[in-house]
Structure 1
Amino acid sequence: MYTPNILVNKVLDYDVIQQVKLILYVQDTPLQSQPGERSFTATTTITVNIKDIDNRPPWFQPCTKVTVGSAKICLSLGYRGRVNLTEKQDGALQLQPGPVYARDGDRSRNEEISYKIVRGNEDNIFQIDENSGNISMLKPPDIAGPISLLVLAFQLLNRDQFATTSVTIDVMKKSRNPPRFEKERYEGYVYSNSGPENMVLRDKMSNRPFRVRARDEDFASGINPDIKYEVQYSSYVNITTDGFILLKKAVRTDAFALQLRAVDVSTGESGTAALSVNVLPPVGIQSQDESYRAGDMALLGFVMAALLVLCLIVIGYLISRVKKGNSDAFKLSEVSIFPSKLRDTGRSRSRRADLREQRLDAVQGARVRVIPRERQRHCSSCGFQVHANHSHYSPGLPVKEKPSKQRVKSILAKERRKDDKKTVWFKESEDSSDIEVEIIPDTIGLKPEDDEDKVEGDFASNPPEDGGMVLGELTMLSIKDSRSRETDITDSKDGLNTDRRDQ
């Protein structure tokens, strides 16, 4: 306090403080003077300017400052440019993020900087200006691909202060076609209740996202990996690197338009297209001008078509079953010789069913026991062959009287028609309502070895003396013994069973 020497108390940082102002106080008497003693004081201002020393190397710009302990450094990511193959570009090359430039790390000193390419320029294609750092070309490159240069920046007065950075030059084939969108104008859709990160849709009928693509004819596949998409004149959407449109916020309008831009980052060429986005009502609310969507109608049509095909299959199956079950009925209708139709179908069917059951019972009984038929005789009154228990109730009628209407005509008087496996016989009464059609197998009453012509001759002739036809009963024509009778009846049963299956 008695010898006012000003000393530095700690290390000064020029980036933090460049000047310090001090106020000096002086007094001509001791601080603890006697009371009443006169004392005089004075003050003055002392300004201390801090000077930066040369302790930092050049810093390439732009750079990112990093502090490591008490030291500060600046990191540079390097520079990048492009040139065309077999072409020499005049003047300084355009680099990103800017031209090669370095300044002294000691800002107050601002030492002069010089530049030099120290590696990567083996073919002497490029040169650098030592004072400005601009890079230019000496000759055109003949090989496509990146060329990496290592550039050195150093102080002229103190060459120990230096720094290096990288400069990458892409040698590319010359672009003859800029990027082009597939369409000049697009249309997309979005729901009014869609929030951020929702995609713009391709159409109204589905939820397929909208996507744009730009082609570059300089590539064989048309796909340029260096194309970047941008959205202009809109604050509602963003676009991804793949060309999908995403909302940034909810849409408050009925429609909006924007411009899409595809940029080839390697050449700087670009192409544009317009996009109109229509805002649809929220999901689940049907718009006034659209009653049904095309997708709903297509689904309905598919369901109806499936039902129609199913119905056709069922109908075809039923028709095939009916045809298979009624094949014999169609054959009967073809061989029928009667012009009139059966008027009482229900009664005829029941009669035929009863008659078949009677035949089956008779055949089964015959297989158990065969009783020889008694000989018939002629009735003197009516002139017909009758059984022994025949009683004549009309003695007064002449012998040649016409038979009554209740008599049934002999079935042998009718024509017989043959089918492949059976013979069709017809019998009728004078009453047309009693017309019946029956299918009688050929094996009934005949031996298998009998000749067919002989059988037809027997049926055409009169009944034998010891045989005949009784109403509702089929009489066997030739019986030799009980063993052959049982054989014939067995064959008759087989024929009847075949007849039943055919019917």
Structure 2
Amino acid sequence: MTFRLLARDTREENVIPSHTATATVVLNVLPADLRTPWFLPCSFTDDYFCIQAQYHTVIPTGHKLPSPLILSPGPIYAVDGDQAINQPIVYSIMMGNTDDTFIINKDDGNLTMAKSIPSPMTFTLVVRAEQADMARYSVTQAVVEARDVTGNPLQFSQSLYFGTVVLGSEAGTAVKDKTFPSEILRIQAQYLGFPDLNSAVTYQVTNSSEFIMNKDILLTTVPMETERTIRIEVEANNTVTKDIATTIVEIQVSEREPPSTGVGELGDGQRFSTVDMAVLGGVLGALLLLALIFLIILIHKHYRHRFTCCSGKAKEPQPSGYDNLTFLPDNKAKWSPTSNRKPEPGPEPVQPPLRPPSPMSSSPTPPSSMPPSPQPKASGSPKTVQAGDSPSAVRSILTKERRPEGEGGYKAVWFGKDIGAEADVVVLNEPTADVDSASASGSEGSDDDDDPDQKKSLRLGAVADNTYV
């Protein structure tokens, strides 16, 4: 912020003489130094707080590495937590540096070895990062494990490498990877579990002067003028452990680059092979299959009752009520012939016309009050009830059920009209002519004198061939 100051030797502005003077004041507002240095990369950060990184590495025993140690997850590096201030950071080892085995660069934080370590052991170094103005500082740990390298030889990632060079290439052309022609072939040897030893590996071509190694890249030294296949040997030598490893590189010199088996270069330099795409397609196909299975299960769960009623077997119809198997269609009736039955002479008798009810009966009398005949009914057509026997005429319907053997003919069902509600079903033997006259004369004056037990026996008598309803 900028301010302008005015000074005058008079009280009023327009007084003469008056002398004035001006001055400019610039005020710079600086952020407050609130945060300590942060060791990167942060395990967690929200721009206000950082969970600082802790470093780790493995080194071989009996060897002094000339280059800075390769740490995980990265080199020792810290920044001022107040980015607006951004004070320089000064590094130092506070404790854990047994026998001053390690040295840390105070400006960049690179950790190097001052001497070799004779036996396996672990160093837990407490590293301090302090602002240059000494206002704030923070600390973290760097764990260094010294292990015996025996049993972990130097080895190449492949025993045979394949490269390609375009015919007519000039000297200094990098050999391309035959599998991925757009990429440069890199030949690397390493110690498994000892990343710091890998930085001390050098490479050279031992059996050909047409190629030379530039770190892990193979370059041509002469123009490639003829089509051929060249096999060369590359040797890797570790300057610390003096270990040696060799591999073979087969280089094809052709007019044009062989077709690529991978996907073209992307914007960020990534490339994908056919195998990568096949794996991706397989994974996507598996996910699609799982999604379809889940969808089918979900549909079956919600709509299985519809599938059951639509695709299930039709249930056999249940009987809605009582079926009288006696009344069957003619084409389904099966009559078993009765043994020793005489043929019936002539057609079945025709039912006589119904007789009108007798005017003499003023009050309805249930059929159960009529004395039934104790004699068996003669064979022949069923008879109608006399007018005096019932308040209304009854009629019979022949059935397809035959009478017992020896009698012949069919049984009949008798229906009466205006039967009172109190008479539900009454079963009577068919009266004979003599009994009809006797019952007619007796019904006039001796209805009240009849024995109740006799009436009951007549009403519920022996099984008759005719049924009155």
TM-score, with structure 2 as normaliser: 0.28
